[in-house]
């Protein structure tokens, strides 16, 4: 027994010494990488934080392959960095876990229906490089309720998910319009939708895109009505960690590349042909035939070509994923600025 006790004591002493020696080194060990681009290259894959399952934005299909608007954006970043859109790992995050996942370095970028707000931009240590979808919060009710306007919701029970801007917008709107309501606050999307469908709530509120996705997933979408009122501004876009401007630039300009491609009418199918025969100077710079725009971003000069070939231009991505769930692009803020919308990219030069 005595010999064993001594061994234990020696081991403890050795550990204490080791601990003291290792302290300064360990203090650096748990940080998220300061240079995200290098970390992604060394890993060989982009890690993208996405929704746990929202039709049109991010959802695994019957083969388990992730598909959606946000997924295509993840693929576009991988294409810009590696020239290969498949080098992405998806990490599903809940509304509550998403920021911690990004802050701790578990994911490189969030494409997860995240609203850009001042407090998130500052106190969460995040940066919002771009807005890829202009959304607004709305209400959905059952057709049988006979409600045609949100102002008729006084006294209603309203289903809402916690930990989002949705909750705060709802209370702001109710206060401004002197509307009394009872909230039912449930964390998981599936559960909150189930509560609404079961009749626990008179209305369900979230971003209009989320309402459209939920409505399209119902057995009879026509039984549900999305009310005309939009009670908030919800600029949705990617989020990255603050303090890594280079990676933020890549995310920002990949989105702009998709916008400019639409402006120039270059699609996934016509990109190779455009590279061969297009003579417009901005198209040549975008596709990397002239200039060094890619190098300035720390990427290959053909980065935008890879993005366009992998996912297409903004209009194509929108039409592929968001039009099927019933979201209109024409006359919405998501139309190109030339069509009266807000989607606008700075010049590629």
- Shortest Cβ 292–another protein spacing (Å): 32
- Shortest Cβ 227–another protein spacing (Å): 14
- Shortest Cβ 80–another protein spacing (Å): 25
Tokens of 268: 């996934």
Binding piece for another protein, criterion CB under 8 A, among 38-46, 173-181, 246-254, 322-330: 173-181
Decide if residue 155 touches another protein (CB under 8 A): yes
Decide if residue 189 touches another protein (CB under 8 A): no
Decide if residue 52 touches another protein (CB under 8 A): no
Q: What is the DSSP letter of 292?
A: -
Decide if residue 160 touches another protein (CB under 8 A): yes
Place of tokens 């392959």: 65
135: CB partners within 8 A, 6+ apart: 113, 115, 207, 208, 209, 234, 235, 236
Task: Say if residues 240 and 121 touch (Cβ distance below 8 Å).
Answer: no
Decide if residue 143 touches another protein (CB under 8 A): no
Kindly report the CA angle at 96 between 92 and 99, in degrees rounded to 5? 75
Among 71, 85, 192, 287, binds another protein (CB under 8 A): 192
Place of tokens 């234990």: 8
What part of residues 269-288 is at the interface with another protein (CB under 8 A)?
Answer: none
Q: Quick one: how far is CA 288 from the chain centroid?
A: 27
Distance CA 111, CA 122 (A): 19
Among 7, 168, 177, 339, binds another protein (CB under 8 A): 168
Decide if residue 12 touches another protein (CB under 8 A): yes
Binding piece for another protein, criterion CB under 8 A, among 25-33, 43-51, 55-63, 64-72: 25-33
Decide if residue 187 touches another protein (CB under 8 A): yes
Longest Cα pair distance anywhere in the chain, in angstroms? 87
Decide if residue 198 touches another protein (CB under 8 A): yes
What part of residues 305-334 is at the interface with another protein (CB under 8 A)?
Answer: none
189: CB partners within 8 A, 6+ apart: 52, 53, 54, 161
> Of 187 and 272, which has the nearer Cβ to another protein?
187
Distance CA 228, CA 284 (A): 43
What part of residues 122-141 is at the interface with another protein (CB under 8 A)?
Answer: 122-125
- Shortest Cβ 126–another protein spacing (Å): 8
Tokens of 289: 């035939």
Q: How many residues bind another protein (CB under 8 A)?
A: 60
Q: Quick one: how far is CA 65 from the chain centroid?
A: 17
Distance CA 110, CA 133 (A): 14
Decide if residue 101 touches another protein (CB under 8 A): no
- Shortest Cβ 244–another protein spacing (Å): 11
Please report, for residues 7, 13, 20, 26, 29, the alpha-carbon distance to residue 16 in angstroms, rounded to integers and kept in the order given: 14, 5, 6, 14, 19
- Shortest Cβ 85–another protein spacing (Å): 29
Q: Quick one: how far is CA 38 from the chain centroid?
A: 22
Decide if residue 194 touches another protein (CB under 8 A): yes
Decide if residue 39 touches another protein (CB under 8 A): no
Q: Where are the alpha helices (DSSP H) in 278-334?
A: 281-286, 293-296, 303-311, 314-321
Distance CA 179, CA 139 (A): 14
Residues 229-248 as x/- pattern, contact with another protein by CB under 8 A: ------------xxx-----
Residues of this chain that bind another protein (CB under 8 A): 9, 12-13, 15-16, 19-20, 23, 26-27, 30-32, 95-96, 99-100, 103, 119-120, 122-125, 145, 153-157, 160, 162-164, 167-168, 170-172, 174-175, 181-188, 191-192, 194-195, 198-200, 202, 241-243
């Amino acid at each position: 027994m005595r010999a064993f006790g001594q061994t234990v004591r020696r081991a403890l002493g050795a550990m204490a010494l080791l601990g003291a020696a290792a302290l300064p080194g360990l203090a650096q060990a748990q940080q998220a990488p300061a240079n995200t681009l290098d970390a992604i290259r060394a890993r060989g894959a982009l890690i993208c934080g996405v929704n746990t399952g929202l039709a049109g934005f991010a959802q695994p299909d019957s083969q388990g392959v992730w598909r959606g608007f946000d997924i295509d954006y993840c693929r576009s970043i991988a294409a810009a960095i590696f020239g290969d859109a498949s080098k992405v790992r998806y990490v599903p995050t809940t509304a509550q876990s998403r920021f911690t996942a990004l802050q701790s370095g578990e994911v490189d970028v969030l494409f997860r229906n995240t609203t850009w707000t001042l407090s998130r931009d500052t106190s969460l240590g995040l940066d919002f490089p771009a807005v890829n979808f202009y959304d607004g919060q709305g209400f959905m009710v059952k057709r049988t309720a006979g409600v045609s306007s949100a102002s008729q919701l006084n006294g209603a029970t309203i289903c809402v998910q916690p930990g989002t801007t949705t909750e705060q917008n709802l209370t702001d709107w109710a206060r401004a319009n002197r509307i009394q309501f009872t909230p039912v606050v449930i964390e998981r999307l599936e559960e909150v939708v189930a509560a609404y469908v079961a009749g626990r709530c008179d209305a369900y509120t979230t971003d209009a895109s989320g309402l459209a996705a939920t409505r399209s997933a119902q057995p009879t979408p026509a039984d549900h009505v999305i009310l005309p009122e939009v009670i908030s501004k919800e600029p949705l876009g990617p989020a990255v960690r603050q303090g890594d401007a280079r990676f933020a630039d890549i995310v920002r300009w990949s989105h702009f590349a998709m916008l400019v491609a639409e402006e120039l009418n270059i699609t996934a199918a016509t990109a190779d042909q455009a590279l061969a025969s297009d003579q417009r100077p901005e198209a040549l710079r975008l596709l990397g035939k002239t200039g060094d725009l890619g190098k300035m971003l720390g990427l290959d000069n053909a980065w935008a070509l890879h993005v366009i070939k992998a996912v297409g231009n903004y209009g194509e991505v929108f039409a592929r994923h968001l039009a099927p769930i019933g979201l209109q692009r024409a006359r919405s803020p998501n139309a190109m600025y030339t069509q009266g919308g807000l989607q606008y990219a700075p010049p590629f030069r």
